[in-house]
Amino acid sequence: MRVVMIGTGYVGLVSGACFADFGHAVTCVDKDAAKIDALRRGVMPIYEPGLEGLVAKNTKADRLSFTTEPAEVIGDADVVFLAVGTPSRRGDGHADLTYVYAASEEVAKLLSGYTVIVTKSTVPVGTGDEVEAIVRRVAPGADFDVASNPEFLREGAAIADFKRPDRVVVGTESERATEALRELYRPLYLNETPLIATSRRTAELTKYAANAFLAAKITFINEVADLCEKVGADVQEVARGIGLDNRIGPKFLNAGPGYGGSCFPKDTLALSRTAQQYGAPVTIVDAVILANERRKARMADVVVEAAGGKVSGKTIAVLGLTFKPNTDDMRDAPSLDIVPALQKAGATIRAYDPAGQQEAQKHLSDVAYSDSPYACAEGADIAVIVTEWDELRALDLDRLAGLLADRVLVDLRNIYTDEDASAAGLAYRALGKPVRQEPVVRLVAGNTAS
């Protein structure tokens, strides 16, 4: 099939490359000429494991191409995806649909023959209705259908998620459009991936409901972690105890500094605003949003507590900056709350992230960046693990202890154990674990723990 992807952001680029790998002829369209030129040269605008190779493979096979000119390809397309940004609207939290509606109007002017126009972007309930109205107004004689096909991709594992999904959700008001999308996803359908064919509005809401539920699960275990610290329980053991119940499941039950990224923050907020608009408030989601903001703000206090109540004049090594590993995405990352709060408290910040440092520099000021976790820790007083990158899961704790003046490790991802840290002579603070009043540390000649 001939596929056009409007937008070469995270969703559009990954989806376009994967559809091309299924054997379809895909053209990705973007107004950003510099980005298109870079993609033609094989330079990726985002960090996503495996994406560069997938794009190169399908570009070489002439299944994937890039252009700034939609007029060159839309007239011949069987399916046109709208994969443009839907950020939170400034001031009220609703999803900003400006780009979606502008793209719809532009596509409408170029239609020729039957075309399925698909919203791949995450959009509020009823957006497909408005897209259809725009196309009918601009091109009253056009032969088309509008569908919703939300994505469920995890940054850092997006290609695997696209090729081996739990399900594919397709929302249409037309059997003709449904069959076209079944054909598009046929490689998955043949592998018995469930394809849920439903109405457009149901598909739109399914995406928001999924993200809100996962955000609630994260927030729940974070609040349980706070309770564990007060009562002397272990949140990891609690999570295992409830996660083995197949009605609950173990995923998204890892206590941490709060959720971030491009989806959960804006999607929970947009769902809340939509629910208010329709007079059916989702109070659980409202509580999740508030609790997550408080969670991220609280993390700097955890570091200060571990430092003995004061970080003024201290140098803190922040290990990991992105909102999760295997991405360079800094959107709503907990580090964006933690670092400024520690700076405000008088700390000097060094930082290390395997992929996110260039992006972090756009958001964080007065930070010294290092080229390894050990270079970051050398001469610092305290180390704080913010993102659970694989290389941060296998640190030499003895070496780390020898580099830190105060020999304090704050682990906001619960990667290590109190026993391992103590054996290395580190005072250790994790989340959702009993907090030792008198940290047990091993004294090393020439280096005394505070």
Last residue of a domain, one of 260, 293, 326: 293
Q: Based on the domain organization, do 399 and 417 belong to the same domain?
A: yes
Q: Based on the domain organization, do 227 and 280 belong to the same domain?
A: yes
Nearest residue to 183 (alpha-carbon basis) of 103, 277, 116, 90: 116
Q: Based on the domain organization, do 39 and 107 belong to the same domain?
A: yes
Inside any domain, residue 203: no
pLDDT of residue 444: 42
CATH of the domain at 169: 3.40.50.720
Q: Give the span between the Cα atoms of 316 and 123, in whole angstroms.
A: 40
The domain containing residue 190 runs over which residues? 2-197
Inside any domain, residue 389: yes
- At residue 14, does pLDDT exceed 90? yes
- At residue 446, does pLDDT exceed 80? no
Inside any domain, residue 227: yes
Q: Based on the domain organization, do 164 and 25 belong to the same domain?
A: yes
Inside any domain, residue 439: no
Q: Based on the domain organization, do 62 and 139 belong to the same domain?
A: yes
Inside any domain, residue 356: yes
Global pTM value: 0.91
Q: How far is CA 430 from the centre of its chain?
A: 23
pLDDT of residue 434: 86
- At residue 417, does pLDDT exceed 90? yes
> In the annotation, is 18 catalytic?
no
Least confident of 31-40, 161-170, 278-287, 434-443: 434-443
Last residue of a domain, one of 164, 197, 230: 197
CATH of the domain at 250: 1.10.1040.10
Under 8 Å CB-to-CB from 395, ≥6 apart: which residues?
Answer: 373
Per-residue pLDDT tens digits for 213-247: 999 999 999 999 999 999 999 999 999 999 999 99
Q: Based on the domain organization, do 237 and 331 belong to the same domain?
A: no
For residues 168-173, average pLDDT: 97
Nearest residue to 128 (alpha-carbon basis) of 203, 211, 212, 207: 203
Q: Which of 18, 28, 263, 376 is catalytic?
A: 263
Last residue of a domain, one of 130, 164, 197: 197
Express as a percent the part of the chain with pLDDT over 70: 96
3-state secondary structure 378-428: CCCCEEEECCCCHHHCCCCHHHHHHHCCCCEEEECCCCCCHHHHHHCCCEE
Q: Tokens for 129, please give them.
A: 């209705």
pLDDT of residue 436: 63
Cβ(387)–Cβ(329) under 8 Å?
no
- At residue 329, does pLDDT exceed 60? yes
Cβ(305)–Cβ(345) under 8 Å?
no
Cβ(425)–Cβ(401) under 8 Å?
yes
Q: Based on the domain organization, do 212 and 156 belong to the same domain?
A: no
Inside any domain, residue 109: yes
Q: Based on the domain organization, do 299 and 330 belong to the same domain?
A: yes
Q: Give the span between the Cα atoms of 331 and 163, in whole angstroms.
A: 25
Report H helices in 88-195.
Answer: 98-108, 127-138, 158-163, 175-184, 186-190
Cβ(225)–Cβ(431) under 8 Å?
yes
Inside any domain, residue 437: no
Q: Give the span between the Cα atoms of 289 and 49, in whole angstroms.
A: 30
Q: Based on the domain organization, do 156 and 72 belong to the same domain?
A: yes
Q: Give the span between the Cα atoms of 329 and 337, in whole angstroms.
A: 15
DSSP readout, 304-359? HHHTTS--TT-EEEEE--SSSSS----TT-THHHHHHHHHHTT-EEEEE-TTTHHH
Q: Give the span between the Cα atoms of 98 and 103, in whole angstroms.
A: 9
Strand positions, DSSP E, 144-286: 144-148, 168-171, 195-198
Q: Based on the domain organization, do 42 and 158 belong to the same domain?
A: yes
Nearest residue to 208 (alpha-carbon basis) of 314, 290, 131, 127: 127
Q: Based on the domain organization, do 119 and 152 belong to the same domain?
A: yes
Q: Based on the domain organization, do 313 and 356 belong to the same domain?
A: yes
- At residue 445, does pLDDT exceed 60? no
Inside any domain, residue 434: no
Domains of the chain: total? 3
